Structure 1
Amino acid sequence: MPKSKRNRAVTLSKTKKKGREHKEVIVNSIREAAEKFPSSYVFAFENMRNLKFKQFRDSIKSSGRFFLGSNKVMQIALGRSASDELKPGLHKISKFLRGETGLFFTDMPEEDVKKVFEEFEVFDFARTGCNATEKVELKEGPLSQFSHEMEPFLRKQGMPVRLNKGVVELISDFVVCEEGNPLSPESSRILRLLGIKMTSFKLHLICSLRGDDFEVYREGLEVSDIESS
């Protein structure tokens, strides 16, 4: 009689070991970077776009190293208190690793770091769930920007359209989205077709440790606030 799969023993040791080893690699890499570079920064990001971030990272990779991932793992690498920090002061920036944040280690002057971060912004199409930044309304009449083959697809997105002598036509005014409201999957698709970009991928410096100089850049975000949260 064949053995039941339900009773078959399954070992998770390899999976656990692989996960642990991967975290150890990250921790060691962060510690090496913290030892190598004189300045350490915590940054936050909005509307991450992986390809654009890779391009940004590659543009200054000769001057530093970036790390994204588990905030807890990054905190462990730096040290979460003065008693276990890798270098004096690193536990101060470790406290700011929460939410969508990352680490940047560099030998660039502070002024140059601020400049490249402030100047970086990539506009992109908003995804489902993002809040609309403006009201978009299409008026009744022909939609010459769409070919006749698009009519069935537009109708599936909830648009009141028809073909009139081979031209896609709105039979009534149609609101694609309202300012401040989350975008539905249909709304985000229509905005993409219209070429309307409502989001931007940005990076914001949160704090830094340069030698013994610890500085917080973003107002309203203090270490005491994080410790009490």
Structure 2
Amino acid sequence: MPKSKRNRPVTLSKTKKKGREHKEAIVNAIRHAAENYSSVYVFSFENMRNLKFKEFREQLKSTSRFFLGSNKVMQVSLGRSAADEITPGIHKVSKLLRGDTGICFTNLPKEEVERLFNEYEEYDFARTGSMATEKVELKEGHLEQFTHEMEPFLRKQGMPVRLNKGNVELVSDFVVCEEGKPLSPESARILRLLGIKMATFRVHLIARWNPEELELYIEKPDDSDVESA
């Protein structure tokens, strides 16, 4: 990649000393990566799971470097315009950093990066507020998946249960969640107990950049939507 201008001083005001030092470390790390990798990818994510993402990142550790966090800090690191960009043209990447996004510096071939991102997905239990992907209803009768010790806890989750000869019994049909509606804290807990996973952690490519071109995988956001530093 072209020679970097990463030694240019950057002002990160209104932060405590520890916070400023942390942000400056991120700025330096991003600028160092811009010098040492051939391409930059902007990606978005949904249903982020830190442990799952760490595993994904570890798979590419030898060839790539990922950055997540404050979009503003990442924008400042790369440069927000042609006047302050660290490498010619890389400010175009900054304009794509909004919402739940991150950047990946890599030396992998384009086809390999696209395959890895497009194929990656991990299922997990949905959290409170997530949209239910299906209707889950429990029918009246014996709930063999629950032990008698769990009966008080299930009642606290709003389930109409009782103990019948040491067994947990549902006294009437009970709807845990409705498809397309947000999960309550109680619904999320019950789904976890039932082993039903409704959240899918995915990463989506937004754009690929190198000194020769910027390739968009989705529609480019308006410049006015980009967060200011």
Unaligned segments of structure 1, at least 5 residues: 1-14
Aligned to 1:34: 34
Aligned to 1:227: 223
Question: What's the CA shift for 1:210?
Answer: 2.3
Aligned to 1:202: 202
Letter in 1 for 2:72: K
Q: Normalising by the residue count of structure 1, what TM-score does the alignment of the two structures yield?
A: 0.90
Question: What's the CA shift for 1:104?
Answer: 0.3
Q: Do residues 92 (structure 1) and 110 (structure 2) align?
A: no
Question: What's the CA shift for 1:82?
Answer: 1.1
Task: Give a deviation string over 1:65-104, Cα, whole Å, max 9, x none.
Answer: 0001110000011111111111122111110101011110
Letter in 1 for 2:97: L
Question: What's the CA shift for 1:35?
Answer: 0.9
After TM superposition, what 4+ stretches of structure 1 lie above 6 angstroms from structure 2? none
Letter in 1 for 2:224: S
Letter in 2 for 1:180: G
| Count of residue pairs the alignment pairs up | 211
Measure, in 1, the Cα distance between the counterparts of 2:211 and 2:63: 17
Aligned to 2:79: 79
Q: Please give the secondary structure, in 1, of the residue aligned with 2:190.
A: helix
Aligned to 1:46: 46
Aligned to 2:58: 58
Question: What's the CA shift for 1:21?
Answer: 1.6
Measure, in 1, the Cα distance between the counterparts of 2:59 and 2:70: 24
Question: What's the CA shift for 1:226?
Answer: 2.3
The alignment-based identity, stated in percent, is 69
Aligned to 2:4: none
Task: Give a deviation string over 1:188-208, Cα, whole Å, max 9, x none.
Answer: 000000010001111111101
Q: What is the root-mean-square deviation in Å for CA atoms of aligned residues?
A: 1.0
Q: Which has the larger radius of gyration?
A: 1
Measure, in 1, the Cα distance between the counterparts of 2:61 and 2:160: 50
Aligned to 1:106: 106
Task: Give a deviation string over 1:43-75, Cα, whole Å, max 9, x none.
Answer: 101111111111110111100100011100000
Question: What's the CA shift for 1:181?
Answer: 1.0
Higher helix share: 1
Q: Please give the secondary structure, in 2, of the residue aligned with 1:145.
A: coil
Q: Do residues 212 (structure 1) and 212 (structure 2) align?
A: yes
Q: Do residues 119 (structure 1) and 119 (structure 2) align?
A: yes
